[in-house]
Structure 1
């Protein structure tokens, strides 16, 4: 009783109506409007998994999941089960539903990673042979087709022939007796063909009068010569009806034989459509999937930027005010939250928003809050919100509240009544203890909240009683919250402040609204100075809270600016690398061209020497030319020397700049030059320009360091702090392990520091696959789970 009353107070049926607008079929819309709340956590998690996978599938498909052709065939199946004969359009609806269900299964089977949906449609039987038989016998208008049977085809051929004979006979009569007719047309009365005859000329065309016009001036006559053919037409029509009925009976019997499977098909299709409606509603709400937590495992309720779904709908479709989100962050030890603040400040809306979020999570829907969305699975959600006054039942406001609270306590269950354990219930109380003497109401509210702290998982209560604010400082299971109030505008801001009780603003509001100052001062004296001190303390806390929020906003802004700068620097670095690579390629091309040109000029010199007997002067001249060519075309190259090679007289060496092999004539001098000979030519070369035939470079002479020479052992700069940004954070939730490895491989290859990998908890398979991949990757030094504030074990940090 109280649970259904709670749903009514929270306007759950209105939310379901909004949900139904996202359904694709009539079945899904009906199921959405009558959405039931699961009674077990396992069922809620199953429904939530369906919604998640449909959401993922819809994001992959260009046009979303299609339910085309699926109709509500429930009534037809019931009649077929009791051997009723279905009409042609009913049979056609069954065939299109079978086709639509098969297309649904095909769309899901193409995505093997969607385990829940694949398992759901695995039991789907679509009977293509029944569908084909229906389409063979029934056309797209729902009429039995000529091809349904040979007998029906013959009957309809005779019908067409007889109709043609009748119309031909009547046309002949019209041509002969046109003066006796009102109009030269052929019409029908019932199933008989007639012509309109003037009442004054009724004897001109003998026959049967089937109808008369309203004025009595026209008689609709079937001429006697046509009557036998009309009788024959009626007989053929009756035969056609009998044959059509036989065909429909045969098809209905086929449908009746598979009714259990078709009912199962309807259930699966409705389940899919309902999950699709939830996914599309969640997408429209910009909602996120919830995770059910265990408060006993020291997990806290996290609902950041939570929005009321009905107010969101009102804002978008009914030109309502913009929705102001609230943050609900409840520590695991907290059992009771008291919300204080002015009237119309949003206390009741906060209670309803939390309740609807819990109900949506239980029903497998996404919650309109920022990720992560974490809340317990409440076995009961009970509320006392609003006024239950009744003149007929002689109930005051206080009496109405007490009766409803009594029903709530009774619903807490046998365990609570017997003081056995704590019920996993969410209790919402609006203006607890109101409607009676303030002293007694306050005492009753304190006793009630302490009782609920013992026997309910979480209670959230709004109140004006100042005594309830002090419970937090007496019992760690209590927490204060308040709705913010703007003293300048004398209006609430609808923001929820945690850890700060609300101030009493009645006297300030009264003064601003023009109440006699003497009355206000007298009221202050009646209250004493303690209240002013409390309000001052609370005002100080609120100001400190605002300063902290301002600093947090500034820090967030700085972080965003840092991310922008990081992106710009990264882009510039990439551009410089690409430019450097381009210059290297151009330089390499220029070097190759220079070498080719140098070889050509060297060949020219050698050919000139080979034309006759060279003299010493000509040889020296050629040597000088070669040296000039070497200096002209040589580009300095940094080579990694192979230590240990030093040329000796008589060694064969390679001149790398010229690409020639030569013989050492003299040992290197103090300037590092030696004389070599190749062919008939001699020239001086430097040690740095030669190498051994196996590619070894000459060991460079040791550099003498003076005492004042600074050491090369420079202390490396300290490692930059690890900062998480959007650039080094990768969200792979919902991916297969193989797809995730591709993403991570690219991320690791481009990373210059740690990366944050969001894989979530789920079944744990994705996390295991990611950890196995990171362990075998050569660039990953180590990995560790993120801090609790960064996602805990649902996020892994890999140090690259």
Structure 2
């Protein structure tokens, strides 16, 4: 891209803004050399760099770049044997420190993916030893410190001593011989301490004259008594200067030894400063990263010209390169056509330079091999070129150089000559460019071009909107709608009579009227579409808001439900605690009974039953577990089915069916009729099968799972046991307990002998401690 295009699109003004955001001269130098790239990979790399720095600034607010100086000239001079000044050495130390701070900042960034910046940070070498040596010799103001060497410390001590001696002696002169002095002060001439002596007292003071006033009345004399001390002072100062030079030479040699590291650091710091400056510009412009392509596709939403005031500029949507490769913009002067043209051009240059573009997120930009522009009046008096000639000279150059990867911007194409010839020439030029598949945006006044896009593939008309009511342009770009002249409307608003306007309309050809009517229809359709879009957008926002409110209420409902569950659990826990306390009481009572007297076996069994009954039955909540849905039962409701009345959101039960699709439902204490569609089936209780009744001695009753034989005679006990086993088998028990007590053990042996011989008893065992111990035999039935 040649310099003329960059100048026409005012790219240099953008670089000036960018340069001000660079923190060091290194970054500013990079900005001065910035030029749009034409390779997609390079542009994408630059955009990645800018995007990384933009994320860092957004998260941290800044990037530490203080203290960085361009030390390349100083390092090069040190390498060839030059002795650096104290300030140059201090700049080296400052740059090393600034690099360390930046490296530490980047290396400790968390939750942000910045591989490029981290790669540059890894190139920075923290030269701690060199920095320490420099700072141990030179203070922050660039002065060599006394502690730079032992010799320098001694020399400066000697200098201060001699200075004090000279001042003491000269102070004595100012006190005792003040009348001989023009002023009672001590001054310096030729690096030696002197007194301002009146001309007539020259011989009285004696010594060396170093200078005199302009009038000759005052001589600046060094009294003889201080000459020797001044000589010693001067000698010490010379030695001091030599020692400082020696120290600086040593430091320069050390700097030269680390030349490669220092140069690498400088390059990395310059690159990071340049990248951060680009990110700062993006943040300042509220720009966004474009997706880059090499297919000539441009898509920008609410794009703004970067050099215009953001509070005043009108944002526009621009699309080019997919459905159409050419845009022809028509409309009145001062309507914003040229600004739109320049906006597309400079945004393209920005994107190809690694800068983000001032548009909404999701924009897409193309990488062009060249950007050509013919914008503005460049007529030359010296070359005797008219406006038309200057435009045509530029167009000829463009047509000789462009290709399918070019972006061409024509401002007032074909202007400056006969309207018919100019319009024909403009259409021919556009045809030539479009035929070679280049992307082109052109502005024009010619009415013949208003219908240009309707009969050519890949071309679309556009215009800048004009408000007839205020007689001012709105600067809005309307894609797909050619511009209207609005001459009649403007004239009418300005007071021109209706008769004159109607007569003027009669002079217009039929074709021109048709075109104007078509344009008016398109504008009406566009306005209606915008209104419909606004209405739809408003409805969408309401729907989103309603959805958010419903989600919020649902969350509140979930929280309240969880709270109720929690309260129920707390209540159950209290019940368990109470049951445990009762169990503790029962155990305590049993222990007291045991200590008071021997407890019979049946008392132990009764106590155990009380302990079991003290445990409450709690229904545990099963989270996220819905009842199993039986589709067959849900289709046909029956009396007794549990249902949910949807209209009331209440549970109830079916009493009876009162019609084809109507049921009587019991809800709490209320009975009501409800339609089938308002009832949701929940569950149906299955009939409970009762246990079989055992017949004992002619009466029906439920057999207990235990038989107490204590106190019975041996023969009677075995007879009862035999009948009990038969009843237990009929009742379906798998295990029973026979209570016989301990006693002599005869009844226990008789029960166990009976068990071994009975065909329906699978096994027998003594009871456990909790079942009665040796006083009980547990029988397992087949």
TM-score band (shorter)?
Answer: 0.7 to 0.9
Q: TM-score when scaled to structure 1?
A: 0.72
Q: CA deviation at 1:600?
A: 5.1
* Corresponding residue number in structure 2 for 1:696: none
Whether 2:5 is the aligned partner of 1:6: answer yes
| Whole-Å separation in 2 of the counterparts to 1:569 and 1:604 | 52
Whether 2:230 is the aligned partner of 1:249: answer no
Residues 438 and 162 of structure 1: CA distance in aligned 2, closer, same or farther (over 3 Å): same
Q: CA deviation at 1:628?
A: 13
| Whole-Å separation in 2 of the counterparts to 1:136 and 1:604 | 84
Q: CA deviation at 1:606?
A: 10
* Corresponding residue number in structure 1 for 2:352: 362
74-83 or 375-384: which moved more? Answer: 74-83
Please point out which of 302, 306, 309 is paired with 1:305.
Answer: 302
| Whole-Å separation in 2 of the counterparts to 1:146 and 1:606 | 92
256-265 or 94-103: which moved more? Answer: 256-265
| Whole-Å separation in 1 of the counterparts to 2:128 and 2:88 | 17
Q: Secondary structure at the match of 2:363?
A: strand
* Corresponding residue number in structure 2 for 1:541: 522
Deviations 1:617-670 (CA, angstroms, capped at 9, x unpaired):
xxxxx9xx999999xx98776789999998784459xxxxxxxxxxxxx99xxx
Alignment of 1:260-279 (within 5 A): 261-279=261-279
Q: Secondary structure at the match of 1:495?
A: strand
* Corresponding residue number in structure 2 for 1:287: 287
| Whole-Å separation in 2 of the counterparts to 1:73 and 1:79 | 10
* Paired residues of 2:482 and 2:519 also in contact (CA < 8 A): yes
* Corresponding residue number in structure 2 for 1:376: 366
Residues 57 and 335 of structure 1: CA distance in aligned 2, closer, same or farther (over 3 Å): same
Deviations 1:347-372 (CA, angstroms, capped at 9, x unpaired):
11111111111011000011111121
| Whole-Å separation in 2 of the counterparts to 1:545 and 1:408 | 35
Q: CA deviation at 1:259?
A: 4.0
Residues 628 and 89 of structure 1: CA distance in aligned 2, closer, same or farther (over 3 Å): closer
Alignment of 1:84-483 (within 5 A): 84-111=82-109, 113-214=113-214, 216-259=216-259, 261-295=261-295, 300-311=297-308, 314-315=309-310, 322-412=312-402, 422-483=403-464
Residues 224 and 517 of structure 1: CA distance in aligned 2, closer, same or farther (over 3 Å): same
Residues 333 and 589 of structure 1: CA distance in aligned 2, closer, same or farther (over 3 Å): closer
* Corresponding residue number in structure 2 for 1:49: 48
* Paired residues of 1:20 and 1:29 also in contact (CA < 8 A): yes
Q: Secondary structure at the match of 1:282?
A: helix
Q: CA deviation at 1:334?
A: 1.7
| Whole-Å separation in 2 of the counterparts to 1:141 and 1:352 | 49
| Whole-Å separation in 1 of the counterparts to 2:248 and 2:614 | 101
Deviations 1:269-317 (CA, angstroms, capped at 9, x unpaired):
2221111111011011111111112438xxx532000011111xx35xx
Alignment of 1:640-655 (within 5 A): 649-651=703-705
Residues 387 and 638 of structure 1: CA distance in aligned 2, closer, same or farther (over 3 Å): closer
* Paired residues of 2:302 and 2:316 also in contact (CA < 8 A): yes
User: Where does the alignment leave 5 or more consecutive residues of structure 2 unmatched?
Assistant: 600-606, 629-685, 693-702, 707-726, 729-735, 740-782
Which aligned segments of 4 or more residues in structure 1 are displaced greater than 6 angstroms? Answer: 601-614, 625-630, 633-648
243-252 or 213-222: which moved more? Answer: 213-222
* Corresponding residue number in structure 2 for 1:532: 513
| Whole-Å separation in 2 of the counterparts to 1:149 and 1:605 | 94
Alignment of 1:513-662 (within 5 A): 513-515=494-496, 517-597=498-578, 649-651=703-705
Residues 178 and 512 of structure 1: CA distance in aligned 2, closer, same or farther (over 3 Å): closer
Give the aligned CA root-mean-square deviation in angstroms. 4.0
Q: CA deviation at 1:179?
A: 4.5
Residues 646 and 259 of structure 1: CA distance in aligned 2, closer, same or farther (over 3 Å): farther
Whether 2:493 is the aligned partner of 1:502: answer no
| Whole-Å separation in 1 of the counterparts to 2:547 and 2:341 | 42
Q: CA deviation at 1:601?
A: 6.2
Q: CA deviation at 1:477?
A: 1.4
Residues 63 and 346 of structure 1: CA distance in aligned 2, closer, same or farther (over 3 Å): closer
Q: Secondary structure at the match of 1:139?
A: coil
98-107 or 590-599: which moved more? Answer: 590-599
Alignment of 1:479-494 (within 5 A): 479-494=460-475
* Paired residues of 2:293 and 2:364 also in contact (CA < 8 A): yes
Structure of greater Rg: 2
* Corresponding residue number in structure 1 for 2:676: none
| Whole-Å separation in 2 of the counterparts to 1:217 and 1:339 | 85
Q: CA deviation at 1:525?
A: 2.1
| Whole-Å separation in 1 of the counterparts to 2:485 and 2:278 | 42
Deviations 1:195-228 (CA, angstroms, capped at 9, x unpaired):
3334443333222222334555543321101101
Whether 2:21 is the aligned partner of 1:22: answer yes
Deviations 1:18-53 (CA, angstroms, capped at 9, x unpaired):
122221113323433453222432222221111111
* Corresponding residue number in structure 1 for 2:78: 80
* Paired residues of 2:156 and 2:240 also in contact (CA < 8 A): yes
Q: CA deviation at 1:82?
A: 4.0
* Corresponding residue number in structure 2 for 1:729: none
**Number of aligned residue pairs:** 640
Q: CA deviation at 1:96?
A: 0.5
| Whole-Å separation in 2 of the counterparts to 1:160 and 1:604 | 99
Residues 647 and 106 of structure 1: CA distance in aligned 2, closer, same or farther (over 3 Å): farther
* Paired residues of 2:321 and 2:439 also in contact (CA < 8 A): no
Residues 129 and 635 of structure 1: CA distance in aligned 2, closer, same or farther (over 3 Å): closer
| Whole-Å separation in 2 of the counterparts to 1:367 and 1:222 | 72
